[in-house]
Structure 1
Amino acid sequence: MPDAWMPGAEIHDLGDHAPTDQQYPPKAIAHITWDRNATADNPQDWCSFEDLVNYFTTSGAGAAPHLIWDPFSGRIAQLFPADSRSKSVVDQPGGTRTNRAGQVVIQIEAVFFPYCRYQGTVYPRLIDTPCAGWDRLHAWIASWGVPDVWPMGHPVDFTSHRDEQVWETQGGWYAHAHVPENDHTDPGSWPGFGTIGSDPQPAPAPAPDPTPARYQSTINGLQYGYGAHGDQVTAVGQALVAHGFGSHYQQGPGPDWSDADTENYADYQRSLGYSGQDADGVPGPASLQQLLGYLPGGRTVSLAHLIAAAQTDPPAEQGHTTYGPEVQIVEQALADEGVLDQQWVDGSYGSKTMTAYSGWQQRCGYSGADADGIPGRDSLQRLGAAHGFTVTD
């Protein structure tokens, strides 16, 4: 018998368990939380995993899924056991009980919205994130007999594809955009089976548009795609040539992103196994990191902001954040150093972060009052030098 509670998940049992309808095949339903409306021109800061857990365990319990998944850290919270229904889709009176129509109907909410900004990088699609934890999440759902198929197609956009007969007769993975009696169109994208991160599940693609993509992505504060300008563009072009993907250049590469850069980058994406819209020649963070071995662009942390957070967050309410994005950069560096558990990389400079930073200060040779967990310039600059961020006043 598979585990009703996913091993390694943070358990927040809401109670109110109810059986599913066993005459239907097993299913999983993919959602994104879509907490804010952002665009490429107006990205918004990501909503934290803790905020979503708090919502679904309080006022949002009536629409709670089985699982809440943070694709950046890999943290997963579980609210219902696998053999119970959850509550994230609409059931119309007299219709198919969509929350229950399967031997299991496991619902997953990825903490994500399009063009969210996380630690300085903007992520247009879920598959552009690290998709941390996807491999173990997928394996656990597969253990409940959910087959690795999308009966209504792997989600690649925000359009609806609903068919009551397919829903009732075929097991597998469904997007919220596929569920009868519902009008939501998420998740827009979802990682592929047997893969980690942004390598998508291959799906039939429409005939390609002969015009190269002409939009831009923002990664670590820098622009890529048609019309982008800067040293980062030259670095991409030179790396493409070095990897054997420069056949479309008539001249260059140079600092101005042209259609030739897009076509060469698309060739590179296809070499990684991407297809369709995922190989349109506009970089995402995963493929760019693989091409260059790093992500250009600096992250900046203010010493004054860190000190203010260290003095404000510990006595405040649990989870309080002061300059949360900058604190999170430092917390991730501390986690990478092994002095802070990944679950406390949350933007709140609380007691766990204070203790971890004290441990870092001791590594730097400080002791006593000089290792009190409140950052000083020397220790913070050492941490920044080791983990790629810049310290300002």
Structure 2
Amino acid sequence: MPELWMPGAERHDVGDHAPTDQQYPPRAIAHITWDRDASPAAPQDWVPFDDLVSYFTGSGRGDAPHLVWDPFSGRIAQLFPADSRSKSLVDDAGGTRTNRAGAVVIQIEAVFFPNCRRNGRVYGVLTDTPCAGWDRLHAWIASWGVPDVWPMGRPVDFTSRRDEYTWETRGGWYAHAHVPENDHQDPGPWPDFSTGSPPPSQPPPDGEIARYQVTIGGLRYGYGAHGEHVTLVGRALVAAGFGRHYTSGPGPDWTDADTLNYADYQRSLGYTGAAADGVPGEASLRRLLGRLPGERPAVSVAHLVAAARTDPGGGQGHRTYGTEVKIVEQALVDEGLLDPAWVDGSFGTRTVTAYAAWQRRLGYTGSAADGIPGHGSLSRLGDAHGFIVTE
């Protein structure tokens, strides 16, 4: 079953849950908060995300949506679980129960009004913003069976169009301007389903921290992500000298400190703008960790042979292919053949001796058990300890 609470969203459960009307198809409703009236000639300052969350969880809870979305930073707050109705639509007594008419009726309020001014820049319509976080918002809603269609047309302006038969019979995405019994004209232009998969095309405005997520190798990274892979990234950042924003941790929850530290790391690699906003990309993550979490490490037979022939005579701690050697050394430790103190990346005499013991355990004798890895013995070790072997 899909998750009732969107992963990575800030949860502010306002209670008062109520079921939806399951005889209708699943749908999502797009709104903008439109909390101020502005014009190109007279723009007004954008109202902060936290102010709108406070409103919808306080005096405005009678109009609260499921999700409040900041399209500048990617922050998302969730107020109702997916299987409950929310309250952002007018619902005339005796008509279609607009807030409930669907297997799900997930309502999104983008924190935006036309011609809002943010950090000195004016944004005429929602799609002028970075639309940060749209990709994960869209993906979560799609997981609830809401199809990627606009039965009354994708909104491209502030024109109303309402047809109750279409509303009642077709699932998909609807603008507030499409819903029967309502008279609002929002949201205006809304991001396309194909956009938002990559990070934003521009960095967050000055002073803002990116708060969206990406999926790499099946794992989530970015604000709100959780898991041991997050701890792994944090520890790697500290080890690489990019941990100055941590006051505690790192830990399994991706926080703003992780984002700021990762942005420092990205800039050290030469990334700029949106590519250095602190949310990982696959290339930078692979460079930081050596491989992606969940990805089986690989060792080369040729590299291991070269190390086993070179390191013993190269002086204490000599490392020819240190990363690959450490993978094999750890496997030998797990087999009880090498002291953990010698997992140092150097295929020295103790590692040669331990590997020879592994070869003898497999039944090799004589020169076939000389401690120099071969493809067969190395593959057997890899199969037992989760690494793959290349030539």
TM-score by length of 1: 0.52
Maintained 8 Å contact 1:22/1:103: yes
1:245-297 deviation per Cα after TM superposition (whole angstroms, max 9, x unaligned): xxxxxxxxxxxxxxxxxxxxxxxxxxxxxxxxxxxxxxxx96xx7xxxx99xx
Q: Matches of residues 209-228 of structure 1 in structure 2 within 5 Å?
A: none
Runs of 4 or more above 2 Å deviation: 328-333
Q: Give the C-alpha shift of residue 331 in structure 1.
A: 5.8
Q: Kindly tell me: are residues 75 and 331 of structure 1, through their superposed partners in 2, closer, same or farther at Cα, counting changes over 3 Å? A: closer
Q: Matches of residues 49-198 of structure 1 in structure 2 within 5 Å?
A: 49-196=49-196
1:24-80 deviation per Cα after TM superposition (whole angstroms, max 9, x unaligned): 000000000011111111111100000000000000000000000000000000000
Aligned-pair Cα RMSD in Å: 2.9
Q: Matches of residues 234-245 of structure 1 in structure 2 within 5 Å?
A: none
1:115-165 deviation per Cα after TM superposition (whole angstroms, max 9, x unaligned): 111122111010010000000000000000000000001001111100000
For residues 127 and 72 of structure 2, what CA distance do their matches in structure 1 show? Answer: 11
- Which amino acid in 1 is paired with 2:164? E
- Which amino acid in 2 is paired with 1:141? I
1:194-227 deviation per Cα after TM superposition (whole angstroms, max 9, x unaligned): 21189xxxxxxxxxxxxxxxxxxxxxxxxxxxxx
Q: Secondary structure at the match of 2:5?
A: coil
- Which range moved further: 27-36 or 114-123? 114-123
Maintained 8 Å contact 1:129/1:197: no
For residues 157 and 24 of structure 2, what CA distance do their matches in structure 1 show? Answer: 27
For residues 26 and 342 of structure 1, what CA distance do their matches in structure 2 show? Answer: 28
Maintained 8 Å contact 2:162/2:178: yes
Q: Matches of residues 246-265 of structure 1 in structure 2 within 5 Å?
A: none
For residues 197 and 190 of structure 1, what CA distance do their matches in structure 2 show? Answer: 15
For residues 64 and 154 of structure 1, what CA distance do their matches in structure 2 show? Answer: 23
Q: Counterpart of 1:43?
A: 43
Maintained 8 Å contact 1:19/1:85: yes
For residues 110 and 10 of structure 2, what CA distance do their matches in structure 1 show? Answer: 15
Maintained 8 Å contact 1:191/1:197: no
Q: Counterpart of 2:27?
A: 27
Q: Secondary structure at the match of 2:99?
A: coil
Percent of residue pairs identical: 75
- Could you tell me which runs of 5 or more consecutive residues in structure 1 were left unpaired when the two chains were aligned: 199-284, 296-327, 334-340, 344-358, 361-385, 389-393
For residues 37 and 169 of structure 2, what CA distance do their matches in structure 1 show? Answer: 35
Maintained 8 Å contact 1:127/1:197: no
Maintained 8 Å contact 2:26/2:145: yes
Q: Give the C-alpha shift of residue 329 in structure 1.
A: 3.4
Question: Which structure has the larger Rg over C-alpha atoms?
Answer: 2
For residues 57 and 171 of structure 1, what CA distance do their matches in structure 2 show? Answer: 28
For residues 208 and 196 of structure 2, what CA distance do their matches in structure 1 show? Answer: 24
Maintained 8 Å contact 2:73/2:209: no
For residues 208 and 195 of structure 2, what CA distance do their matches in structure 1 show? Answer: 28
Q: Secondary structure at the match of 2:206?
A: helix
1:92-117 deviation per Cα after TM superposition (whole angstroms, max 9, x unaligned): 01000000000000000000000111
For residues 72 and 139 of structure 1, what CA distance do their matches in structure 2 show? Answer: 18
Q: Secondary structure at the match of 1:53?
A: helix
Maintained 8 Å contact 1:2/1:143: yes
Maintained 8 Å contact 1:150/1:174: yes
